[in-house]
């Protein structure tokens, strides 16, 4: 299996990158966090006046909703850090900028256009023109208008940030590669400080308008969560962490201690007010988990995360993320209305909802994403070739193999 070669960084010999299937599996866990946040909400944003939870017992429904309320924020932050990591890991010397941008566009837009069209057909046709057109072109979160940011297919807001990351990556990778190995940790700390700075500046953002259920004003919520530029700190952090692992400077901190610290950070996200709950309490353990999983793969100790099932789930995770509004907020009320159920039945229906979302994701992945990537993601003019190594000669395979992490984030 071929792994894209990257340009040489200071102190690093030219080399092929090993595959990191555990990071593909982790992508699905991040998407699952978003699903749990959406599926346990007490009210449907499409029908705010109608009960939404499956659970008839408020002593179960309310704590469940509160526990998973921060899961969506944490899952999206996970995507942003992971995106920077895998793009840096798989970056190729001589790869043309236009080829990189084409591959990213082919990855993102077909799934987005299909889910956008379905949302418009099913429930979003009343969306004002000033919202649906920017949403279609994935620039809508550069607006601070609430009806534009949360328009059409809601999860698409994060794709605006991803497209900004992709647009700037060819510049950022040059800068990140120039960081001396001995200063990588300093720059990683600077990115975490940037996340903290955004959090601390947020209360100073002017504006009085508020939406029901939000702790922040509309402008503050937009600036610290949806506005793409402040999220660059998480993306660049992922890039620098990839350099740390590449340079062999990641300490042998395994997944278990990293996950324990993540649990502590997640508890902090539950109890902390916005905007501290968005990413500040969890961004460090998220980076630790990603580096620990990558290092485990390099040692051949990936475990269950790199198994066939988790890799398949990771491959469909982008589609799983994008179809959630269609399945959870539209299809579920259409089939079951506002009915609530006993606790056992409610958990069973939650599992059924997960399987329905997974089925929809598999269809979108198989019928749209995979064929489009197969047809359009490969350039007829490949990267500028370098002298093949023995490993390259024995492991060569078509580029784009699914187990190779190629920045396919959601």
CA 377 to chain centre: 20
Q: Which pair of structure tokens corresponds to residue 72?
A: 């969506």
| Closest CA relative to residue 44, chosen from 270, 331, 351, 346 | 331
Please state, in angstroms and rounded to a whole number, the distance separating the CA atoms of residues 44 and 33.
18
Q: Which residue has the tokens 């179809």?
A: 323
Give the model confidence (pLDDT) of 280-322 as tens digits.
Answer: 999 999 999 999 999 999 998 878 999 999 999 999 999 999 9
CA 253 to chain centre: 23
Give the model confidence (pLDDT) of 153-185 as tens digits.
Answer: 989 999 999 999 999 999 999 999 999 999 999
Helix (H) or strand (E) holding 50: strand 47-51
Please state, in angstroms and rounded to a whole number, the distance separating the CA atoms of residues 315 and 307.
12
Crossing angle of helices 184-201 and 232-246, in 10° steps, is: 160
Q: What is the C-alpha end-to-end distance of the chain, expressed in Å?
A: 24
If DSSP codes are grouped into helix, strand and coil, which group holds residue 101? helix
Q: Radius of gyration (Cα) for the chain, nearest Å?
A: 21
- Residue 300 is classified by DSSP as T
Helix (H) or strand (E) holding 48: strand 47-51
**pTM (predicted TM-score):** 0.87
**328: phi then psi, degrees, rounded to nearest 5:** -80, -50
Q: Which sequence spans correspond to the domains of the chain?
A: 21-383
Residue 278 CB-density burial (10 A; 0-12 exposed, 13-18 middle, 19+ buried) = buried
Contacts of 307 (CB under 8 A, 6+ apart): 25
Q: Which pair of structure tokens corresponds to residue 151?
A: 């328009």
| Closest CA relative to residue 72, chosen from 282, 242, 365 | 282
Give per-10-residue mean pLDDT for the chain (410 aa).
36 61 95 95 80 88 93 95 95 82 92 95 87 92 90 93 96 94 96 97 85 80 94 97 95 92 96 92 97 93 90 96 94 84 94 96 96 76 40 33 40
Give the model confidence (pLDDT) of 355-392 as tens digits.
Answer: 999 999 999 999 999 999 888 766 555 443 333 333 33
What is the DSSP annotation of 17-76? PPP-HHHHHHHHHHHHHHHHHHHT-SEETTEEEEE--SBS-HHHHHHHHHHHTTHHHHHH
CA 182 to chain centre: 29
């Amino acid at each position: 299996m071929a792994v894209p070669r990257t340009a040489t960084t200071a102190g690093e010999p030219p080399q092929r990158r090993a595959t990191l299937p555990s990071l593909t599996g982790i992508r699905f866990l991040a998407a699952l966090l978003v699903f749990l946040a959406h599926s346990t909400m007490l009210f449907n944003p499409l029908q705010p006046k109608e009960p939404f939870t499956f659970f008839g017992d408020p002593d179960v429904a309310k704590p469940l909703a509160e526990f998973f309320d921060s899961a969506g924020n944490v899952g999206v932050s996970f995507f942003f850090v992971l995106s920077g990591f895998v793009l840096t890991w798989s970056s190729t010397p001589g790869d043309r900028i236009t080829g990189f941008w084409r591959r990213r566009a082919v990855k993102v837009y077909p799934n987005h256009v299909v889910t956008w069209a379905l949302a418009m057909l099913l429930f979003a046709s009343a969306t004002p023109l000033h919202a649906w057109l920017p949403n279609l072109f994935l620039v809508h979160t550069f607006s601070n208008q609430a009806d534009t940011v949360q328009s059409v297919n809601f999860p698409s807001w994060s794709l605006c940030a991803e497209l900004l990351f992709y647009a700037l990556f060819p510049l950022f990778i040059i800068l990140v590669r120039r960081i001396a190995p001995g200063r990588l940790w300093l720059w990683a700390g600077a990115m975490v400080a940037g996340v903290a700075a955004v959090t601390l500046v947020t209360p100073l953002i002017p504006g009085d308008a508020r939406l029901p259920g939000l702790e922040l004003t509309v402008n503050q919520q937009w600036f610290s969560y949806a506005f793409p530029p402040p999220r660059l700190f998480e993306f660049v952090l992922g890039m620098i962490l990839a350099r740390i692992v590449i340079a062999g400077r990641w300490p042998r901190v395994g997944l278990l201690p990293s996950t324990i610290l993540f649990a502590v950070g997640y508890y902090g996200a539950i109890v902390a007010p916005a905007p501290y709950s968005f990413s500040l309490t969890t961004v460090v353990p998220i980076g630790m988990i990603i580096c620990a999983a990558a290092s485990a793969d390099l040692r051949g100790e990936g475990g269950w995360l790199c198994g066939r099932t988790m890799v398949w789930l990771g491959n469909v995770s982008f589609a799983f993320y994008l179809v959630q509004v269609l399945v959870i907020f539209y299809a579920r009320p259409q089939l079951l209305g506002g009915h609530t159920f006993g606790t056992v039945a409610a958990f069973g229906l939650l599992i059924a909802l997960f399987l329905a979302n997974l089925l929809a994701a598999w269809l979108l992945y198989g019928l749209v994403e995979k064929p489009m990537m197969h047809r359009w993601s490969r350039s007829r003019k490949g990267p500028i070739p370098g002298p093949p190594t023995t490993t390259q000669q024995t492991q060569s395979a078509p580029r784009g193999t699914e187990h190779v992490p190629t920045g396919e984030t959601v």
